[in-house]
Amino acid sequence: MIKFTRRRALEAALLVGFLGQVAAFPVQGQSADPAAVQIEAFHGALLETMKEGPTLGAKGRDRKLTPVVERAFDLPLMTQFAVGPSWAGMAEADRRALIDAFTRLTAASYAHNLTRYSGEKFTIDPAVQTRGADKVVQAHLIPTHGQQVSIAYRMRQGGGTWKIVDVYYGAVSQLTTRRADFAAPLASGGAAGLVAHLDALVAKLLA
């Protein structure tokens, strides 16, 4: 089951949190497009973890999902965008610490929300949109009860692999939401303050 909150519906959870209480999904309708194939593989890994969800617990799901998140997302690029203009003036050690913290937050968000499998469906549209150098893969989460949720994954190719660089619920970008959320701790505590803020969120998600 995927646990939802209204706030998470306006973000992108691992991944990716979602709204309300919506269960997991088997992938239906495979695509030959390499960007869509990456999303299908990502959701297949999520589904596998969800089937073991109650046994693994939150921390066990986090350990299993961390390499999945690292394969599916362009985490350095996403962290840079979420941090914003101050990224340019940061030391490399601070950038690395922020990427690591952002990775922990992304994996923990999925681990917190993807608790168990209940048989709902996840589908991917066969047509993949091209937007400049990027592609957009449109997916639909279909719960057993309630309305279908549309999720769009923006993908970018790097090193020969298509990776997620943003997730949209309707017109709302996860990275735009993250950037707004990160602004206050970054302004008050710099890179170290933001890392501490993200780690506090991770601890809460995995408690």
Name the residue with higher pLDDT: 50 or 107.
Answer: 107
Q: What is the CATH number of the domain that holds 39?
A: 3.10.450.710
Nearest Cα to 121, choosing from 150, 144, 146? 144
18 has pLDDT over 50: no
Number of domains in the chain: 1
Q: How confident is the model at residue 21 (pLDDT cuts 50, 70, 90)?
A: very low
Residue 65: give the domain boundaries.
Answer: 2-206
pLDDT tens, 69-94? 999 999 999 999 999 999 999 999 99
Q: How confident is the model at residue 144 (pLDDT cuts 50, 70, 90)?
A: confident
Instruction: Give the DSSP H or E segment for 13.
Output: none
25 has pLDDT over 60: no
Burial class (CB in 10 A: 0-12, 13-18, 19+), 12: buried
Q: How confident is the model at residue 58 (pLDDT cuts 50, 70, 90)?
A: very high
